[in-house]
Amino acid sequence: MKASGNIDPRVVQGFGEEWSRFDQSELSPQDFDQMFAGYFHLFPWNTLPAAAQGFDLGCGSGRWAKGVAPRIGRLHCIDPSKAALEVAQRNLSEFANCTFHEAGVENIPLQDGSMDFGYSLGVLHHVPDTLAGLQACARKLKPGAPFLVYLYYAFDNRPAWFRLIWKISDAFRRCISRMPLRARSAVCDLIAALVYFPLARSARLLERFGRDISHLPLAHYRDLDFYVMRTDALDRFGTRLEQRFTRRQISEMLATAGFSDVRFSDKPPFWVAVAFKK
């Protein structure tokens, strides 16, 4: 299957399989709160109008929507994967204010200029044209509306040895992501057990001894459960299409897409940014 428009069917299928396998039913409340805060601490909740209406582009399992829906009027959960949407519908069944759309970034089924906010976390680096994806999101927002985005970083705030490790890991990703689901999942579980878990727990131990762990790979996972590591290992190594951007590139793309007042988070995951529709 080849990319059609601004979507890659292989990526969509892969994420449908991922969220069916890791439906987030085993995600602890503590881990959810920590991860949600990591993405949304920049978000200007106090600027939203009463009964605000917004969208979650690439909602996947609906895990972030679960934290957003109680705070707003209506949330449009959008994903091109039917399997992922089925998981999201189960996870969000307690919320009557969620509407589900099986659609990709190239055909967002919302009226232009109608949304009070939007967010897309860990999605637009998996489409062929990230800038076009940002522009599509911008078109749906009202002037002044906030947009929260997370795009994989190009290790522009990391030393050369860190980038070298990523290049080696990316070679593995290119091979692993082409495996059948069962083999892909098994290898990613192995990576979670032999790489993510030891490095994360080592970082936690070093932190307790007062050491600076900000430069250590996977230190961000030090307090998270193994379930999160397994999910993210499959996400990271099981996806065929991946793009990475520097902070400057993301800022420039957001400006080109029609956003202003771009603000970046200074802590992982990198890069999370919030911007406002011009």
pLDDT tens digits, one per residue of 123-135: 999 999 999 999 9
Among 55, 137, 135, 148, residue whose Cα is nearest residue 99: 55
Is 54 within 8 Å of 117 (Cβ atoms)? yes
Structure tokens at 43: 């978000």
- Secondary element (H or E) of residue 276: strand 272-277
For residues 160 and 151, the answer to whether their CB atoms sit within 8 Å is no
- Structural tokens at position 166: 């990523």
Q: What is the C-alpha separation between 260 and 251, in angstroms, rounded?
A: 9
Proportion of the chain above pLDDT 90, given as a percent? 97
Task: Identify the pLDDT of residue 23.
Answer: 95
Token reading at 161: 């040895």
Relative to beta strand 117-121, strand 146-150 is parallel
Tokens 């878990």 identify what position? 197
| Among 263, 251, 256, 245, CA closest to 278 | 256
pLDDT tens sequence across 76-109: 999 999 999 999 999 999 999 999 999 999 999 9
Report how far Cα 215 is from the mean position of its chain's Cα atoms: 22
Q: What's the pTM value of the predicted model, to 2 decimals?
A: 0.94
